[in-house]
Amino acid sequence: MQQTTSLEAKLMLCSVVAQMQQSYPSDWEALWHAEHCLRGMMILPKLQDLGI
């Protein structure tokens, strides 16, 4: 399995949050849904390992 670099992880996070902002009116809601989306894809633990 390919390692995700810190930059790739940050870009992925920004991308998901941007997509969620189109669906949810508040930034807080967008971040909440983005976090759950990333957790579901097992990316969030990697982000936490990177100190994001």
Tally of structural domains, the chain: 1
Task: Compute, in degrees rounded to 10, the torsion defined by CA atoms 22, 25, 27, 33.
Answer: -70
Quote the CA–CA distance of 1 and 10 in Å, as a whole number. 19
Residue 30 falls within a domain, yes or no?
yes
Structural domain that includes position 27: 6-49
Residue 1 falls within a domain, yes or no?
no
Q: Sorting pLDDT into bands at 50, 70 and 90, what band is 1?
A: very low
Residue 51 has what pLDDT?
A: 63
Residue 40 falls within a domain, yes or no?
yes
Residue 32 falls within a domain, yes or no?
yes
Q: For the whole model, what pTM was predicted?
A: 0.48
Quote the CA–CA distance of 28 and 9 in Å, as a whole number. 20
- Composition of the chain by helix, strand, coil, percent to 5: 75, 0, 25
pLDDT digits (tens, 9 = 90+) for 7-52: 787 788 788 888 888 888 888 888 887 777 777 766 656 666 666 5
